[in-house]
A and B are shown apart, each in its own frame.
Chain A
């Protein structure tokens, strides 16, 4: 623990800290462009120069200089001021003065730091360098003339994403950042380079020229595009959500966000259900939907007299409050038929520890042997893939059962027959025998095929639960899954139980993946926000709110309870889901026990106390013993198209374009500019 003096103030810094970190610990702001906490140190922007004694009589780059005992660091001397002014002047020599038309304006590091540390006037009257436009895909808009060569994007794609596709070509003044042969950046986290770019060289293409940062209302939200529960900031103007940006949360998403979470928000204004619709009867086939009023819809539901013959199926994007309201409504009617595993997947949910990501996202980085059973991690949980890559960099061995996919780290594929789990080869058993922190991840493709029992047996055999380490993980990809399971909303036989019960009324809560032809006699009431598959099959459509339009509680795969706030109002006649269910209760003449959102939450907390506190829920209990043999071939992973997994994505033009261009290789259709 060396002791250094920063501007006369003596502080102790951790061993291995850099001078820049020492200055930050002392509360001094050090301007920087290339340095980033989560990337390797490049030391090429020179903005972080400070004066250090002992050392050469010139300013030193603090980001790349280790802090050592007895150093005297000055960040406020004349030398430092002059150095910063000089570096800033050089950076601005070739940087265009196009801030008024630059999307980074208002949130630009270069702009801010030139105000704070620059000279204030230019002395340069030569021609500026110009760089040809580069194409980086449908998400990243480039204006490479603005690039200051910090190489953060290069380091991100190499170190974090693990897909080497961005590079710095040529040299010196002619250096250019580009993707290989200007191909689109093709990985699930590509848009994070937009946040990393300290200038306006890489900006968001869908958000181009939409708004200035100071016009936006910022709301703290939780992402629902996958089950990671990434922390997001929802930026909205008026009634429209314009963008979603990651918030820093080291336990969940660090500061990254998958492209889908970031760009699906433009689907929130398209294909929305903003009116009540009722399907008119027709002799042959499906009748037409006609706009109606809430009263008419409720009357129609009441006329069926469901009694206890009512069932509900909930979709992937739901918050716990909606699910609890549905549970309360069904409970009041005398039914418990509620299920969320829409595609008919079944697995034992009696012990939540067996279906939870017990290791936690932050801890999985420390695993030293990982067995992934039936999961395309990059598509099902892109942020988890980043963590696994870190684990592999630290020496972890990864084995995968399932069809091959392009990993971003060395991994061994054991074939797509789940039967391989019954007689694992020696190198797998050896690796797990020796591992200090072994982890098993069971994905959706395996859970649905009964591999959970075998995985639990393997967990016992390899002793993956040990002092200070729980290595057994199930990986879901629906944001509502863990919340639903904690609320106890699952049937033993899955959807088949609902089908067998032949309900008179089926409430589909944002459920778009259900095969509704299984319920030919039920009155299908769709309560959701997008006109997608669910609405298409429905007899009555009640318009509800999307995740940005309601406050809600979400539980991510590791059982972390998080709350999201309401950013904007739902469009048209659409209401928050719980109010619809509350009104339906009145229409059906039952009491659900809450009249306001606060009462609903209180009732939910009383029902499931684990949801009352934010943070990791204690799902308790030992892992069940499991057992049995696994069998079956995994033909394909559940996520067929990463960019089109739910109703919001499918409505999003950006996601459709990503799917067409990045996954299906269609050429980019762009209007001539």
Chain B
């Protein structure tokens, strides 16, 4: 968090991104996002448009995507709003990347529940592959970020990689996931605990057991 910064605007950056424009596919989505708001309130669509722009940048660079300043300027012009207001939004939300990221953006949760359940080991596994917090590996594959709680405390520890969560991790399980990703496969998202589907109690339910097979009215037993 604290080390978020805006990529410096150089002539090269302007050259590379100065002519950015939505592709027809993203443009259609952008128009739909703007259409959700009343006339003259098109600025409200800024978050959606920044996301689309980031994704399009991702497609063009074969990475997770980020928001160079010229792209933010494009979005500002698209929505007829001051650039500084767009930059404010982009810098506020951590899901907008302000600097280039790799093919996979590995966001390791380090908040207390994940930490107690072994996020240190998860972090170590990442670091063994050459990842460094806030940096992209030289092969352009991985970007590592430590983030705060992502709301998966019941299946801690977890990482979010691009748009998917991988939960119930250990060092080995994360290795499997990362290997699969590096090989171009799509590993199963969600919990990595064998036999677990989502965040149900491990080893079978301990409460509301009577409701497992059929509905049961507990109210008489209160």
Contact = CB atoms under 8 A, between A and B. Distances in A.
A278 B85 CA distance: 59
Interface in A147-182: 158, 164-174, 179-181
Contacts of A180: 82-84, 87
Given A181-B9, A181-B69, A167 B84 contact: yes
A581 to B, nearest CB: 52
Interface in A166-219: 166-174, 179-181
B4 interface: yes
Contacts of A164: 82, 84-85
A311 B2 CA distance: 70
A169 B83 CA distance: 12
Contact of B92 (A158, A170, A173, A181): A170
B1 A167 contact: no
B91 interface: yes
B88 interface: yes
Nearest to A132: B5
A515 to B, nearest CB: 43
Contacts of A158: 82
The interface centre, meaning the residue of B4, B84, B88, B92 with most chain A CB atoms within 10 A of its CB, is B84
A165 B1 contact: no
Contacts of B85: 164, 167
Given A174-B1, A174-B4, A181-B9, A167 B92 contact: no
A62 B144 CA distance: 44
A262 to B, nearest CB: 24
A199 B96 CA distance: 32
Contacts of A168: 88
Interface string B1-21: 110101001000000000000
Contacts of B2: 173-174
Contact of B91 (A165, A166, A170): A170
A164 B9 CA distance: 20
B69 A169 contact: no
Interface residues of A, number: 15
Nearest to A163: B82
A208 to B, nearest CB: 26
B92 A165 contact: no
A173 B148 CA distance: 15
Interface string A520-537: 000000000000000000
A129 B85 CA distance: 24
A181 B69 CA distance: 9
The interface centre, meaning the residue of A166, A179, A181 with most chain B CB atoms within 10 A of its CB, is A181
A158 B85 CA distance: 10
The interface centre, meaning the residue of A158, A172, A174 with most chain B CB atoms within 10 A of its CB, is A174
A179 B88 CA distance: 11
The interface centre, meaning the residue of A164, A167, A173 with most chain B CB atoms within 10 A of its CB, is A167
* Interface residues of B, dominant DSSP: helix
A236 to B, nearest CB: 37
A174 B3 CA distance: 9
Contacts of A171: 91-92
Contacts of A166: 84
Contacts of A172: 1
Contacts of B88: 167-169
A175 to B, nearest CB: 9
A158 B88 CA distance: 13
Nearest to B84: A167
Contacts of B92: 169-171
A167 B87 contact: yes
A121 B6 CA distance: 38
B145 to A, nearest CB: 15
Nearest to A176: B91
A172 to B, nearest CB: 8
Interface string B104-134: 0000000000000000000000000000000
Nearest to B88: A167
B133 to A, nearest CB: 16
A173 B4 CA distance: 12
Contacts of A169: 6, 87-88, 91-92
B119 to A, nearest CB: 22
Contacts of B87: 167, 169, 180
A173 B1 CA distance: 10
A170 B84 contact: no
The interface centre, meaning the residue of A158, A166, A171 with most chain B CB atoms within 10 A of its CB, is A171
B46 to A, nearest CB: 13
Nearest to B2: A174
A152 to B, nearest CB: 16
A166 B83 CA distance: 10
B59 to A, nearest CB: 26
Nearest to A170: B91
Contacts of A165: 82, 84
Contacts of B91: 169-171
Contacts of A174: 1-2, 4
A166 B82 CA distance: 10
A149 to B, nearest CB: 13
Contacts of A173: 2
Contacts of A179: 84
Nearest to B69: A181
Nearest to A171: B92
B43 to A, nearest CB: 12
Interface in B33-49: none
A402 to B, nearest CB: 25
A167 B92 CA distance: 11
Contacts of B6: 169
Given A164-B85, A181-B69, A170 B9 contact: no
Contact of A170 (B4, B69, B82, B83): B4
Nearest to B3: A174
A137 to B, nearest CB: 15
A174 B1 CA distance: 8
A311 to B, nearest CB: 52
Contacts of A170: 4, 91-92
Given A168-B88, A170-B91, A172-B1, 16 more contacts: A158-B82, A164-B85, A165-B82, A165-B84, A167-B85, A167-B87, A169-B6, A169-B91, A169-B92, A171-B91, A171-B92, A173-B2, A174-B1, A174-B2, A180-B83, A181-B9
7 contacts: A164-B82, A164-B85, A168-B88, A169-B87, A170-B91, A174-B1, A180-B83
Interface of B: 1-2, 4, 6, 9, 69, 82-85, 87-88, 91-92
Interface of A: 158, 164-174, 179-181
A-B pairs, 3 with minimum CB distance: A164-B82, A167-B84, A169-B91
